Amino acid sequence: MLKWCLRFHIHTERGFHLQNMKVISYNRNINPSFLLINHELPSNTFHRPRLISTSAPSISSFNMRKNDLMMRLPCCFATRAALSSSVKTDTYSGSKKQKSSSFYTHPSLLEMKNEKAANRVRVYEFLRSIGIVPDELDGLELPVTVEVMRERVDFLHKLGLTIEDINNYPLVLGCSVKKNMIPVLDYLGKLGVRKSTLTDFLRRYPQVLHASVVVDLAPVVKYLQGMDIKPNDIPRVLEKYPEVLGFKLEGTMSTSVAYLVGIGVARREIGGLLTRYPEILGMRVGRVIKPFVEYLEVLGIPRLAVARLIEKHPHILGFGLQERVKPNIQSLLKFHVRETTLPSVIAQYPEILGIDMEAKLPSQQEFLNSIIGSTHEDFGRVIEKMPQIISLSKAPVVKHVDFLKECGFSSEQVREMVVGCPQVLALNLDIMKKSFEYFKTTMARPLEDLVAFPAFFTYGLESTIKPRHKKIAEKGLKCSLAWLLNCSDEKFDQRMSYDIIDMEEMEVGESSFDMNTLLEPRNDESASDYDDDYSEDDNV
């Protein structure tokens, strides 16, 4: 083994390949100025031992390169040592060393935090100066300058929102004009939401200014279109009920529609129903819709009839069941409306469920008693036959009563006619005058006939009264007004084939509301694919 000993003036541990020599190991000597390196020949030398002669030129060349390397290495390591020493000096000098000026010097986190707090204080002072209470804005990302905040407030003013509106929902001040407000308003404008309704829209649902057009708004609009709401009706739906833009598609909206279809509401009616009363989309089935439907069923209205009522008057679902509907039913019973007639009363006038009955009923009862001398029981019979009497204005009622008295009826006869057919207080007076003139001159009947059947005034003069009177006059028949008018055209034609008039049919009374008209079958896909026993999992 050939050994070489090289002396270096540096403290390091490195090995070098020198020509064909291979570094196998190196050990540090006790003297730090010496580095002892043990070199060994390549392994293949021992396989084929042979004499190797070294010539003087090669040794000389090697010595020259060695000397050159030894001269360069101290310089290199000296430079590195100087740099290292400089770094250590900077590190350990601490505060003793002055800070060097640099373009890349940044403020500390504490300085940034203090500056941010100072900016927020200035913004709060500005908001308080214009009447806005910023207490709820803590933790909300706000503009760093008063100028940007003033821009937001001015923009909201241009939309019609007042300081009071902003105080009602101060979080709107966290919306960027360019990033939040303008994209949302542009989208609503493209849908067709009118500028005249925009202020009220934002007052009712200011959260829309936080929404993402792509993530939040567009999917809801697509869902509404999938409910057969026509594109032209979408903006009207949003204007009526802007809160719908905040609902989850698979939440309340889908379950309310599914339940309505389940009780018999025709699928083809859903689009029109939601267009007229989109608030249904926000009603929970278990808390609002189902209890309402079941209560009407308890009163005696069949479920399918309830579905038909909802199709025609969807807003009745908005009448509070506990707050309004149940108290109104109790008020009707208190004013002598018979329980058995409640289904007919509701079916004729569903609005009666939402009227403030405590204020209306006593006033109307007293008024009717003052003009026709009706009793408490009479008032109950009037409501049963025409529940709209509760909302009827006093002036038209007085005119109709005066007309009947001018026709020659006594006060008692007027009372009897009104109780028998309250509609005589609400019909077109000009048409009533023409019908009475025909009754008096052509039919030449006594007034008692009208007292017995005041519903005569509810039939069309040209379409029903005249043609039927001519037929019985040609046959020379004598009959009551009820037998003549209170039947369908088909039934009347059958009666014209009779040789004699059945006395039982002579006693037919005035027409009344028929609940079966709400139960007629439909020729559409109204059959339900949903279980009537709807789950209560949406009560949460």
pLDDT averaged over every residue in the chain: 80
Q: How far apart are CA 279 and CA 318, in angstroms?
A: 8
pLDDT, residue 142, reads 83
3 state DSSP class of 217: helix
pLDDT, residue 444, reads 94
pLDDT, residue 105, reads 55
pLDDT above 90 for 13: no
H and E: helices and strands count for the chain = 24, 3
Token pair of 479 as six digits:
């009959």
Residue 112 CB neighbours (<10 A): 11
pLDDT, residue 499, reads 63
Token pair of 311 as six digits:
């199709």
pLDDT, residue 506, reads 47
Closest C-alpha among 501, 475, 499 to residue 487: 501
Q: How far apart are CA 387 and CA 25, in angstroms?
A: 113
Q: 303-316, pLDDT tens digit by residue? A: 999 999 999 999 99
pLDDT above 90 for 263: yes
Which segment of 218-232, 245-259, 395-409 scores lowest on mean pLDDT? 245-259
* C-alpha torsion sign, points 400, 405, 409, 413: positive
* C-alpha torsion sign, points 530, 532, 537, 538: positive
Amino acid at 281: L
Q: 485-529, pLDDT tens digit by residue? A: 999 999 998 888 876 665 445 444 444 566 666 666 555 444 333
Task: Provide, rounded to the nearest whole percent, the portion of the chain with pLDDT above 90.
Answer: 62
Mean pLDDT calculated for residue range 402-409: 96
pLDDT, residue 63, reads 47
pTM: 0.70
Q: How far apart are CA 181 and CA 192, in angstroms?
A: 17
pLDDT above 90 for 366: yes
Closest C-alpha among 297, 335, 326 to residue 515: 297
Cβ burial 276-302 (10 Å sphere, 16+ → b, else e): bbbbbbbbbbbebbbebbebbeeebbb
Q: 372-393, pLDDT tens digit by residue? A: 999 999 999 999 999 999 999 9
pLDDT above 50 for 23: no
Which segment of 312-321, 352-361, 514-523 scores lowest on mean pLDDT? 514-523
Q: 124-168, pLDDT tens digit by residue? A: 999 999 999 988 888 788 887 899 999 999 999 999 999 999 999
pLDDT above 70 for 39: no
Mean pLDDT calculated for residue range 94-123: 65
- CA end-to-end span of the chain: 89
- Residue 25 gets the label, from left (phi > 0), alpha (psi -120 to 50) or beta, of beta
pLDDT, residue 233, reads 95
Is 411 within 8 Å of 368 (Cβ atoms)?
no
Which segment of 8-12, 166-170, 348-352, 430-434 scores lowest on mean pLDDT? 8-12
pLDDT above 60 for 73: no
pLDDT, residue 25, reads 42
Give the angle subtended at the CA of 62 by the CAs of 60 and 64, to the nearest 5°: 70
Amino acid at 492: F
pLDDT above 80 for 358: yes
Residue tagged 């542009």 (tokens): 186
Closest C-alpha among 66, 16, 22 to residue 41: 22
Token pair of 466 as six digits:
């005249």
